[in-house]
Structure 1
Amino acid sequence: MTECTPSPVRTRTAPKAIRAEQDGPVLHVRLNPWGQDDTLDTAVLDDLISLLDDLHERPDVRILTLSSLGPDFCLGADRDEYREALADDPSGAALRRIADKAHRLCQALETTHAVTIARLHGRVIGAGLALAAFCDLRAGADDSRFRMPEVGIGLPPAWGGAMGRLVSEAGTSRIRELMLTCDVFDADTAQRIGLLHRTAPLDRLDKVIDSWTRPLVRRSPEALVLTKRMLAGFARADRTADVSLLDSHLLSAALRGHAGG
């Protein structure tokens, strides 16, 4: 396994916010939360967007795995960064730019030619769950815990266009309950409703990932890309009322309301 970077220039040092290593046709991307408090701040968003944009010029990468080097996969969006952006620019424009990056990231993750696999462990919260939901396949440690806390902290579930994707993957009824109650749910529940495809003890999770990557690398690249596009097309047809482009405005309005109150 060799160290690689989010750009085609192999000599560039990997960004601190993420680590990327290429093993043949598989690119392993790991969130690197040290100093970032396990959250999706602008540095993480920028590096992931850059990496996914560069994949357009890297057909040799056929599979992308997404995991974290921290004790948890992800604790959600960086709300401190939101508050700082709003304090610096009370109009909300700076905050909307951050939220728009989240939308761009999730769209890039959904539409990349590579088959994307989320490897989840620890806590998977809010925007972290949204990010994972945009991956094609998802495996989680059997002791993982999940939560959508936005309503509980007075915010709309407006990150990256997540609501439409979550409803498409798990169904309106279950997502409604989990969003409104903000209940913590376990890996078995996540698998039962479709947010996870497989679960395993943490020390066997990599074997689950390998059980997907081994056959996938033998598949026709053209067939995989076309199948991904067909599935994405059907999923988007189910989301004809998708209002995800309004996410940044909804989030900005909610946080400005908190600040004004």
Structure 2
Amino acid sequence: METQQASTITVAAEGARGSITLNRPEKLNPLGTVTLTELADAARWFDARPEVKVVVVAGSGRSFSAGADLAAFAGDGPGSVTLREAADLGRRMADAVEAMNAVTVARLHGHCIGGGVVLAAACDLRVAADTTRFSIPEVDLGIPLAWGGIPRLVREIGPALTKELVMTCRPFGPAEAKAAGFLNRVVPEAALDAEVEELVQQLLTKSALTLTATKRHTNAVTEGMVATARCWSDADSLVTALLDPESREAATAYLSRHSAGRGEPK
């Protein structure tokens, strides 16, 4: 087994299969600046290993991901960078994951929140436990959904449902997500690993050439329909929202309402 060194994720390759696992379970795997950078680096690391056909993207502990690590983006966390750079890291991460040569399978459980939804949307296939809880709370936090999240959601579930879920911030479950086309499979939580393994084994029997060709062809068609390349300016909208008084009031109110959760997503 070959591994890549990282501090917030684990990355491994063994033969034709690989894995990327978010590895801050005590915080429900938040996506801070360091993690976003490491995810993009991991994608490039796998691209240098053409023998890898399938990469499973997962979260350790109780959840897939609780979304963006707000402390890191405020500039007071480990690996903090300038505000504009930090705001653009999520887009770069999602682009890198989506552009990987290998087929990516997202293994979803627990909470899949905000930026975690974007990471899942950047993967090719998605399998979720029937207990997974999804939400996109960015608007409640006074910021737009960035990181290329809007076109990816429009691509997967259509514009009307994207507007509803992003603007209302209401939680939604795996049954709705599958019916909308976001998920490929939903299984009981106890069967999640077996279901992901079955899917991986099916893919591993195919040639790397045909898998990559199918992925590239499908992505090229959808890029013509909903261009993620337009999202280079997402960071500017995000920075503007961080400086907007009404947006900051909304964020303060949201955090105040949920402060009793002690880090548990709502």
Structure 1 length as normaliser, TM-score?
A: 0.88
Distance in 1 of aligned mates of 2:190 and 2:248: 48
Unaligned runs of 5+ in 1: 7-13
Distance in 2 of aligned mates of 1:197 and 1:43: 29
The counterpart of 1:189, out of the listed 176, 193, 198, is 176
Counterpart contact for 2:67–2:116, Cα < 8 Å: yes
Question: Could you give the per-residue CA deviations for residues 124-165 of structure 1, whole angstroms, max 9, x where no partner exists?
Answer: 00000010011000000101010011111211111x211101
Question: Could you give the per-residue CA deviations for residues 186-218 of structure 1, whole angstroms, max 9, x where no partner exists?
Answer: 111111101111011111111111221112111
Confirm whether residue 245 of structure 1 aligns to residue 212 of structure 2: no
The equivalent residue for 1:27 is: 18
Question: Could you give the per-residue CA deviations for residues 148-187 of structure 1, whole angstroms, max 9, x where no partner exists?
Answer: 11111211111x2111011101111111111111111111
Query: What SS does structure 2 have at the residue aligned with 1:185?
Result: coil
The equivalent residue for 1:147 is: 135
Distance in 1 of aligned mates of 2:136 and 2:235: 18
The equivalent residue for 1:126 is: 114
The equivalent residue for 2:48 is: 57
Offset at residue 35 of structure 1 (A): 6.0
The equivalent residue for 1:5 is: 3
Confirm whether residue 179 of structure 1 aligns to residue 166 of structure 2: yes
Counterpart contact for 1:85–1:95, Cα < 8 Å: no
Aligned length: 246
Percentage of identical aligned residues? 33
The equivalent residue for 2:209 is: 222
Confirm whether residue 116 of structure 1 aligns to residue 107 of structure 2: no
Query: What SS does structure 2 have at the residue aligned with 1:84?
Result: coil
| Counterpart amino acid of residue 46 in structure 1 | T
Distance in 1 of aligned mates of 2:227 and 2:29: 33
Q: 1:16 to 1:172 in 2, by over 3 A?
A: same
Unaligned runs of 5+ in 2: 250-266
Query: What SS does structure 2 have at the residue aligned with 1:245?
Result: helix
| Counterpart amino acid of residue 184 in structure 1 | P
